[in-house]
């Protein structure tokens, strides 16, 4: 193989890798979450992890719940908000996750890298949120709503 062929092969491989890496971070909306719109309000560095991965150092904006950072978990796993507050749900993992409050009309599905906003219009009280896909691995948390 001559030098020009090697250069073309290298450029092709690097270009393909770029497309694959940037395509996996694409944002999209979710028709099942009627009260949400895509957003991106967190920054993450680091990576790796397994089982929904992510990991690394994370700085979250207020009223943000991160899915899948460091495994099958929410971060933070407890959150207190006033009724009517908009919460950003961000998937930092490599697997799809849900943010679901069963029986309350809140069920957001995020693909890897996706963020959506959910307005919490619940009465004051304490609610459990789960990832329907990974609740059996302990992926759940507590939302406290105040007046």
For 52-71, how does the pLDDT look when each residue is reduced to its tens digit (9 = 90+)? 444 444 567 899 999 998 89
Q: Specify whether the CB–CB gap between 97 and 68 falls below 8 A.
A: yes
Interval 96-127: pLDDT, tens: 999 999 999 999 999 999 999 999 999 999 99
| Residue tagged 């694409």 (tokens) | 26
CATH class of this structure's domain 28-146: mainly beta
Spatial CB neighbours of 12, under 8 Å, sequence gap ≥ 6: none
Task: Read off the DSSP letter of residue 122.
Answer: P
Compute the distance between CA of residue 106 and CA of residue 116 in angstroms, rounded to an integer: 12
Q: Specify whether the CB–CB gap between 68 and 91 falls below 8 A.
A: yes
pTM assigned to the model: 0.62
């Amino acid at each position: 193989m001559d030098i020009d062929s090697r250069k073309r092969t290298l450029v092709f491989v690097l270009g393909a890798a770029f497309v694959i890496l940037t395509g996996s971070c694409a944002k999209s909306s979710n028709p099942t979450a009627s009260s949400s719109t895509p957003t991106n309000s967190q920054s993450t560095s680091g990576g790796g992890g397994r089982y929904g991965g992510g990991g690394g150092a994370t700085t979250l904006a207020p009223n943000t719940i991160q899915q899948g950072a460091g495994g099958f978990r929410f971060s933070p796993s407890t959150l207190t908000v006033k009724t009517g507050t908009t919460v950003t749900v961000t998937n930092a993992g490599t697997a799809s996750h849900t943010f679901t409050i069963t029986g309350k009309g809140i069920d957001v599905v995020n693909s890897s890298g996706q963020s959506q906003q959910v307005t919490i219009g619940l009465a004051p009280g304490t609610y459990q949120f789960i990832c329907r896909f990974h609740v059996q691995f302990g992926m759940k948390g507590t939302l406290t709503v105040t007046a």
